[in-house]
Amino acid sequence: MDTRFDLFENGLATRFAKRFAGAALVIHDSPLPKSTQELVSLRVSQINGCGHCVDMHVKEAAAAGESAVRLHLVAAWRESTVFTEAERAALALAEEGTRLADASPGVSDETWALVRKHYDDDRTAALVTLVALMNAANRLAVITHRKGGSYEAGMFAAAVGD
């Protein structure tokens, strides 16, 4: 299926995208470890079935030195031994914060306690906003049928002038 609508060829959408990218840069420049940012972004994108964002975050993580083993195991992180306790807390928050309709209480108190155990206020703020931002990005790409496969590491940074 072809892309339905190119958000980058529409004036209104382009103005929105610049602000959206600005929000992403705030998170990117936060003290939340880059590896955690990519793992969380990848997991949210997997859950939402966003091929474009899965493609982007796998390639960005690999270019930043993330191992193939860890990238392959993100989808089954609960059944693996390659993630730290802090990363596991972040991945749990990513899942619960993405599957809101599937889990009526939203993010559990247990997951929230684990996040707060491992992340200070700035890292927690970055983590929460990252989950929200990735869910929004996934919806934009899925609604317009933006496909994965053509992304190259560094394209986002080049597009926003980072």
User: Which whole number is the average pLDDT over 131-146?
Assistant: 94
- pLDDT tens digits, one per residue of 23-49: 999 999 999 999 999 999 999 999 999
Amino acid identity, residue 92? A
For 55, 129, 152, the CA distances from 7, given in Å and listed in that order, are 18, 22, 19
Q: What angle do CA 57, 60, 63 make, to 5 degrees?
A: 145
User: Which whole number is the average pLDDT over 127-142?
Assistant: 96
- pLDDT tens digits, one per residue of 56-113: 999 999 999 999 999 999 999 999 999 999 999 999 999 999 998 886 678 999 999 9
- What is the reported pLDDT for 102? 80
Q: Residue 159 — pLDDT band, cuts 50, 70, 90?
A: low
- What is the reported pLDDT for 58? 96
Q: What angle do CA 72, 135, 109 make, to 5 degrees?
A: 85
Question: What predicted TM-score, i.e. pTM, was given to this entire model?
Answer: 0.91
| H or E element that contains 103 | none
- What is the reported pLDDT for 145? 85
Residue 69 and residue 82 in contact, taking contact as beta carbons nearer than 8 Å:
yes
